[in-house]
Amino acid sequence: MAESLTLARPYAEALFKVSLHNGKNFIGELESLNAVCSDGAFKNLMLNPAVENKTLVGILTAALPVIPDELRSFIDILLGNSRLHLIKQVTELYSDLMNEHSGVVIVNILSAFKLTSDQTKKLNKSLEIRLKKSVKIKSSVDASLIGGLKIIMKDTVIDKSLKFQLQRLKSEIFRN
C-alpha cells in the first residue's frame, strides 16, 4: 500500500496543480473514474497486456461521457505510464490536497453505535473550535469499541473507547 501511495503521489500533486491553475475541482470525475476502474471486468481488461490503451480510453469515454479535457489528458498519461491501476490512491491523495488547500480537515470517527445527527453536529462544532478549521466528519460503527469514540485526524488518534480503557486497566493490573 505504501508503495502504491508513493507511486500515486506525483500524479495526484500534478493534477492538483492543474486544478489550482484552471480553478477546477476534479474530485467528482475522479470518483466516477475510480468506480469504473474498480469494476472487476474493467480491471481484467486494464491488466491484460493485449488490450490497447485506446480500447481502454474508449470504454472510459463511454462510461464517463463528460470528462474535462484536462482529466482526459491525465487519463492518457496514467495509461501511457501503466498507472491507471493507481486511480484509487490518486483520488484519495488528490482529495486530501484539495481539502488541505481549502482548510478542511477530514476527521474519521469510530463509535460503538451509530451516532445521531445531533451528536455528529456537536462533535463537528467542538472539533472546529479545537482545530480552528472547517471539519468534515466521516463516521462509522465499530462494535468492538464497546462504548465511547475513537477520533482519527491524519496522524492523531484520540481513543476514548471503552475497549481502550479496559486494555489500559488490564495493563495496569498486570504491571503491578
The string of pLDDT tens digits covering residues 22-67 is 999 999 999 999 999 999 999 999 889 899 999 998 899 888 888 8
For strands 104-111 and 134-141, give the pairing: parallel
Global pTM reads 0.76
- Mean pLDDT value of segment 74-87: 93
The band of 1, judged by pLDDT with boundaries at 50, 70 and 90, is low
Place of cell 445527527: 117
The pLDDT assigned to 47 comes to 86
Residue 19: how many other CB atoms lie within 10 Å:
19
Place of cell 507511486: 7
Domains and CATH numbers, the chain: 2-99 (1.10.520.20), 104-175 (no CATH)
The pLDDT assigned to 155 comes to 83
The band of 17, judged by pLDDT with boundaries at 50, 70 and 90, is very high
Whether 105 and 153 have beta carbons less than 8 Å apart is answered as yes
DSSP string covering 3-48, please? HHHHHHHHHHHHHHHHHHHHT---HHHHHHHHHHHHSHHHHHHHH-
The pLDDT assigned to 61 comes to 87
Structure confidence by residue, pLDDT tens digits, 91-144: 999 999 999 999 999 999 999 999 999 999 999 999 999 999 999 999 999 999
